[in-house]
């Protein structure tokens, strides 16, 4: 086997570990906690289906790839819950180290392309990154909604926290932010999200 293919297969097996990284969000219908790979797959399908609601035209293949790779770093860095203020303080450093180790398994050209794509997603400045980030925010919100806000209640999440996170949804899609706002307001009324 040539060296390039060997590296690619090693990376493919390494990212299988993403299936073992459990998130705080539960599957719809009060299922078990979802894993990072399920979250990424769900985001990629959502991006394809909802692309017409992007604020700007996007290269949807690029958005979908961003969705699929954005949490690979959590194999080493672990999942940082969106509302874990202490964990968020060290998240960037943990993810940077993980990015270097995991993407270095690939041939240099593919490492470079995926690293650039990951960094673009994190910077959230291009239309593609903004729309991918909107999917990253909308996906767990939809699951929380399907579970009657159980994860928000369990963690004592506040209106300020949810709106703080969802600000990036608006940057990617005004239309989807409208839906997000309606759902948040519903869960504030129900007491699932603590009001300010």
Burial class (CB in 10 A: 0-12, 13-18, 19+), 27: middle
The answer to whether position 195 is within a domain reads: no
The answer to whether position 161 is within a domain reads: yes
Return the closest-CA partner of residue 27 out of 10, 39, 41, 43: 39
The answer to whether position 116 is within a domain reads: yes
Kindly write down the DSSP assignment for every residue of 10-75, as one continuous string.
HHHHHHGGGGG-EEEEEPTTT-SEEEHHHHHHHHHHHHHHHGGG-SS---HHHHHHHHHHTTTTHH
The arithmetic mean of pLDDT across residues 42-47, rounded, is 98
Q: What is the pTM of this model?
A: 0.94
The answer to whether position 140 is within a domain reads: yes
The answer to whether position 119 is within a domain reads: yes
Is 81 within 8 Å of 22 (Cβ atoms)?
no
The answer to whether position 196 is within a domain reads: no
Token pair for residue 190? 């129900």
The arithmetic mean of pLDDT across residues 177-194, rounded, is 95
CATH number of the domain bearing residue 176 = 1.10.3210.10
pLDDT of 97: 95
The arithmetic mean of pLDDT across residues 140-153, rounded, is 93
Q: How confident is the model at residue 88 (pLDDT cuts 50, 70, 90)?
A: confident
Burial class (CB in 10 A: 0-12, 13-18, 19+), 29: exposed
User: 20: domain range?
Assistant: 3-190
The tally of domains found in the chain comes to 1
Total Cβ atoms within 10 A of residue 61: 11
The answer to whether position 19 is within a domain reads: yes
């Amino acid at each position: 086997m040539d060296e390039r293919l060997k590296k690619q297969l090693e990376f493919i097996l390494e990212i299988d570990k993403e299936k073992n990284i459990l998130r705080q969000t539960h599957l719809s219908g009060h299922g078990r906690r979802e894993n990072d790979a399920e979250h990424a797959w769900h985001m990629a399908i959502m991006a394809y289906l909802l692309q017409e609601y992007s604020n700007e035209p996007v290269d949807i293949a690029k958005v979908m790839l961003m969705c699929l790779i954005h949490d690979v770093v959590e194999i080493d860095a672990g999942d940082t819950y969106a509302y874990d203020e202490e964990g968020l303080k060290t998240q960037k450093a943990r993810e940077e180290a993980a990015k270097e180790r995991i993407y270095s398994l690939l041939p240099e050209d593919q490492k470079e392309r995926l690293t650039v794509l990951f960094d673009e997603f994190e910077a959230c400045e291009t239309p593609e990154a903004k729309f991918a980030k909107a999917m990253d925010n909308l996906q767990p919100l939809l699951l929380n909604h399907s579970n009657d806000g159980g994860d928000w209640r369990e963690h004592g999440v506040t209106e300020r926290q949810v709106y703080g996170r969802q600000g990036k949804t608006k940057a990617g899609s005004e239309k989807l932010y409208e839906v997000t706002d309606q759902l948040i307001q519903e869960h504030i009324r129900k007491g699932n999200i603590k009001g300010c």
